[in-house]
Structure 1
Amino acid sequence: MWLTNARVFDATGAAARDGRAILIEDGLIAAEDQAGAVPDGVDVIDLAGRTVLPGLIDAHAHVFATPPTPDDGAEPLWPGLTAHFVATGLREALRMGFTTLRDVGSYGDEVITARQAMRYGAFPGPRLLTCGRIVSATAPGGRFFDGMYREADGPDEVRKAVREQVRRGADFVKVMSTGARSVELEDPHPAQLTGPEIAALVDEAHRLGYRVAAHAEGLAGTELAIRLGADTIEHGMYLNQRPDLLDEMAAAGQVLVPTLSCYYGVASGQWTAPLVRLARHNLAEASRTLLAARAAGVPIALGHDWQPFSDAAVELIRLVEHGMTTHEALLAATATGARALGLDDRLGTIQSGKVADLTVVDGDPLTDPVLLRDRAQIWLVLQRGAPVAGAVFDNSAAIAANARTAADSRSVTHTSALSNAGRPRSGTTETPG
């Protein structure tokens, strides 16, 4: 496939360039260069007026089943129905340009089941990484989030908990280095696990080749997570009070996922008054931490947390509103997101040899990032070089209308980039091993 006449943001740190072309072969980016002569025997899509980004990456998401309330009131859900709502959320994430998603905690086996379903072509969705159960100490959160946590006490039990997640098919390990403020009776200021317990968890995960994400609110547990080698720090809103820890993160290459959107969600007033006040306070702390982390050179990745997938890109807007440039925020949603997941050798940038996960936006999100929140502007989404979603799918003739006639039409196979039914080809979503 030959994508031509595009504005390309390659996420390597370079400025976006106009009039570019991308050659896709066997699901990989074969070349990205100035638009020119069309290679023989390839499908051509003219992207004049559009911008190509690496497929967006959400490094911190909770894939919950959140069914709508029927007009005649709520009702009990039949067993298995939640899987359909999980699938709906994942399809929506892909539709909005997110080709890779890291689930940092969900209930039961819903996400692992959905990942396998996508692998077998049951429905299209993002490349999905899951932590299995979150490893925590025995704590109120284990009751509050029943089915999401694996409680463990003592270094040996923590090691066993890590091995259990690997056995379940987890892609990484998540640890509650602190409690969560949203949990009744849980204080996030003391570390939830002890130093020896966190050290055992990180050591066991790394020994087995798995990365560690640490839920980090209070500074005591956050410090342990950073100094004992967690790969990503989730939230970390109070780190502005400890610039020494930010310097250590920058030196070690540990990624911060600030999740600003979650504070907006709680502060919106839908929760109890004390939690709303606390969320507003934490948002101010998180905003200061974002600026301090940026100044210290800490890698920052995008994570929208638990907000609807139809508006996952709102986190990118929040990053810009709180001090990042649009260029930096797009890097957080692409190259640094891939780094957070340990997939930067194959995802996150538009470079030869990388997987051809691409998001095509109608217009220029570098000058107007709000475009990324508009379904109509997410024109085309590709996974491994295959068109799988986008506004163009609402009118399958649109790609055909944009297929440019080459000088020798016999050497070019024009395509609508869709199946005969006008829907995504099945089985295009794969999960890295």
Structure 2
Amino acid sequence: MYWIYCLFLLFIVSLLNKGRYSILAYKASLLIIFIFATGNYYNGVDWINYQKHYEFISNSGISSEYFAYEPGFLLLMYIFGNVLDIKNFHVIVIFISSISILSLSKFIKQIPKGVNKSLILFMLVAFIYPLYNDAIRQLFAFCIILPLLPNIKSIAIKKIIITCGIAALFHSSIILMVPLFILMRRELTQKFMFYSFICALLFLSLLINIESIVNTLNNLIPKMLYVKLVNYVNNMGEFKVGFFAVIDFLGICIFCATYRVFKSNNDISVYAIGTFYFFILHLVFYGAPFLQRLLYYIFPLLSVYSCFIFSHCQRGSGARILLPLTLIMTLSVFARNIFNPYYATDFYEPKFFYTDGVFEKHLDVERLKYRKCSVIDEYDPNFCPK
């Protein structure tokens, strides 16, 4: 619930980010994010499980689920919980939040001049607040690779792979971003953009018809493999192509029509290339439930890169429409998360670390976890332990 206040403050500060107040407003935005990020606790099932594993590691040096998480995250918990003997898991939250603020700051320092930095932070947080809210492993992995992006065209491929490998020690899904980062090093051509768009549409067509495709394979593949495919299709959830797909389609068309504006500008060409790929991948990933986890990395970058393009286009340019389109998506995702039953429970029982610590507020963690799991069980019955 308190993220609404955080975003409200960030938006107000972004309106003041002009002239001599810009530096002050930007620093105020970073401080606001840090306070609200470190004020987060017990907001999700993952968070509660992290807390329990941390207590095991802190007390005995090992957890019953010791290999459930990536080695980098486990090492982090071991250092703070066992070596430094800090009993409160919140030290991990403060550490990761601090790293994320430093990463955001380093990333923003490299962006083109003339961009409203506080607005960038507002757009980022509007989408990635679930990372601060619960998925702190993804947040840490995201923040490791973020400073690479402004110079992605000049960085050696080996450095990209090594950096993503380090980030994967905290969440393995980030390794799937390596092919994208390598693609972002090459210049776009009209032909390449056309074929990429066609491939994305073919992939969407495959997803829409995946159930019938699997059924036709009944007599063509081994029975065991067929049964596994059927189970996979049944468990992956419903495929949806809706409002966001329309926006992605419009964004891709507008970008292709206006790309020549950015091609000759070396300062923003890397952001233009990123915007195209992020639109394509958002179109593909959003419709596929088994790929949606990667949207944690894709969508905030799409919003930010569109903001860069908006800031460097002349008035009347069609490319300036990209920012309103992505801003609509950003606010829609934020509104959807607010009304998502998983996060809506926090409206009825708001939690904030700093005020709750002062007033010694007691939380029934098991009841909180039960309420969260009762929501998840409707979508993924195997997520919460029984």
Please give the TM-score of this superposition, normalised by the length of structure 2: 0.29
Q: Structure 1 or 2: larger helix share?
A: 2
Q: TM-score, normalised by structure 1?
A: 0.27
